[in-house]
Amino acid sequence: MAKTIQMRTPQQEKEARLVAGMYDKDRKIQSELYAYCSEYFWANCHGLFFADDDTAMEIFQSTFVTFWEKIEQRKIYVSEGRVMGNNGEPLTSSILTYFISIAKNKYKEWARKNPSYVDIDTSKKQYADMLYDSDENKMLDIIADIISRMSEQCSKILSKFYYEGKDLDTILMEITSITSKNALKTKKYKCMESLRNSANDIYRNYLNS
């Protein structure tokens, strides 16, 4: 019986090359795999994890180490030009999907260790529970009011990121006073910290009233 030849997409071929090179400790390919995973992670993490950029970076680094270990332990490996899982079957998805699944577990571990962490979405839920009256838009009004009273730059960054859904590259092009992506990340982090602190003050005042 003739052997069935399974066609591979360019992405599958690339990912097989990256996994094989990682296992062989090829430094150039290790760097390429790091960049491949990093680009995908940062393009999607803010829709998956409610954490600041520093925490997200910790999650990414920990995820990459675990991903690397799985390759070294041959829980992910390459056979006949295809990436295989530890069940001996080809991965049914991209290694990027596999990578993000590890990252999600890392985030859950971090969230369990940091139960007091307050992010923008958690704050919204808390305000919904504590501050909603007959007007269900009251909580959103509070957040919007805080942002409107922040510095012009913070107001622009947070509005563009959270309300308009724009990524950092787009925001960087629109706010010409910020000259680099790293500077934008730092500024966004500081603006978020200010927003969280103001939100927490409102929450505490409510509890004490």
Most confident range, picked from 65-69, 103-107, 128-132: 65-69
* Cα-based distances in Å from 151 to 2, 141, 162, 175: 70, 18, 16, 14
Beta pairing partners, 82: 79
What's the whole-number mean pLDDT along residues 55-70? Answer: 91
Helix residue ranges, H only, 52-94? 53-72
Model pTM? 0.55
Average pLDDT, the chain: 78
Residues in the chain: 209
